Amino acid sequence: MKIKAFSKTYNGVRVLDFPGMELQPGKIYAVIGANGSGKSTFARILAGVIQADQQGYHPHPGSVLYMPQKSYAFRMSTQANILMGSREYKKANKLMEDLQISHLALRRADKLSGGETARMALARLMMRPCELAILDEPTAAMDMESTLLAEKLITDYVPRANCALILVTHSLQQARRIADYALFFQKGALVESGPAQTVLHVPAASETKAFLDFFGS
């Protein structure tokens, strides 16, 4: 799947310049970089939530799933939020079990805690088939146990759904645990991308190395 080059400018300031890349189905792509480096802007443009500078830019014609940095809960039960009109109760129940939110099934989803909401949103996303999934810091609000459950679910889902998954994360440990490839952004530029084993362990660019040295251990 080819993602074409695009840029994003706010008030005359270029906040992102993406050169384009090829994504393989069934693989996890970690996006790392400091606050404000353009990760969420990248995610939003791929998700079609905001427009790139290039008029009529379309990231991908197929099905694209998106979990924003702040997950949304509709004013109905957790189970109804996950089902979203689907009748696949078994699938929804299994996802709730896997994420340990079964006890919240009938609770109003807009009253859940941050970490519970994120788990609900992840289950909602995984109900659906997709070609491209974009998760913007899905585990930022989760505790360690939930994070590991979510990572397990993501690594099971991606090859099964044969979906290319973009995972924006602040956790290098998470990226090292589950990513196949990694992209390092700095000040809106894609500094380095490639196999996770290289980018997250023995990067080529001095900027990536400095980032890992600072945040890495």
Ligand X SMILES: Nc1ncnc2c1ncn2[C@@H]1O[C@H](COP(=O)(O)OP(=O)(O)OP(=O)(O)O)[C@@H](O)[C@H]1O
Which of 15, 148, 189, 205 is close enough to bind ligand X by CB under 6 A? Answer: 15
Q: Which residue is nearest to Mg ion (CB)?
A: 40
Question: In whole angstroms, how far apart are CA 25 and each of 11, 46, 117, 149, 191?
Answer: 35, 15, 27, 22, 23
Q: Measured between alpha carbons, how far is 216 from 172 in angstroms, rounded to an integer?
A: 6
Binding of residue 62 to ligand X (CB under 6 A): no
Name the segment binding ligand X (CB under 6 A); options: 29-37, 59-67, 77-85, 117-125: 29-37
End-to-end CA distance of the chain: 33
**55 contact, one of ligand X, Mg ion, none, CB 5-8 Å limit per kind:** none
Q: Measured between alpha carbons, how far is 105 from 112 in angstroms, rounded to an integer?
A: 11
**81 contact, one of ligand X, Mg ion, none, CB 5-8 Å limit per kind:** none
Considering only residues 128 to 187 of the shown chain, the ones binding Mg ion according to CB under 5 A are none
Binding of residue 40 to Mg ion (CB under 5 A): yes
- In the bound state with Mg ion, the residue whose beta carbon lies nearer, of 104 and 168, is 168
Q: Which residue is nearest to ligand X (CB)?
A: 40
Q: Tell me how far, at minimum, the Cβ of 175 lies from ligand X, in Å.
A: 14
Q: Which of 7, 104, 115, 3 lies closest to 51, judged by CA?
A: 7
Cβ–Cβ < 8 Å for 25, 31: no
> Could you tell me how many residues of this chain bind ligand X (CB under 6 A)?
10
Q: Tell me how far, at minimum, the Cβ of 67 lies from ligand X, in Å.
A: 14
Cβ–Cβ < 8 Å for 102, 93: yes
Binding of residue 40 to ligand X (CB under 6 A): yes
By the criterion CB under 6 A, which residues form the site for ligand X?
A: 10, 15, 33, 35-41
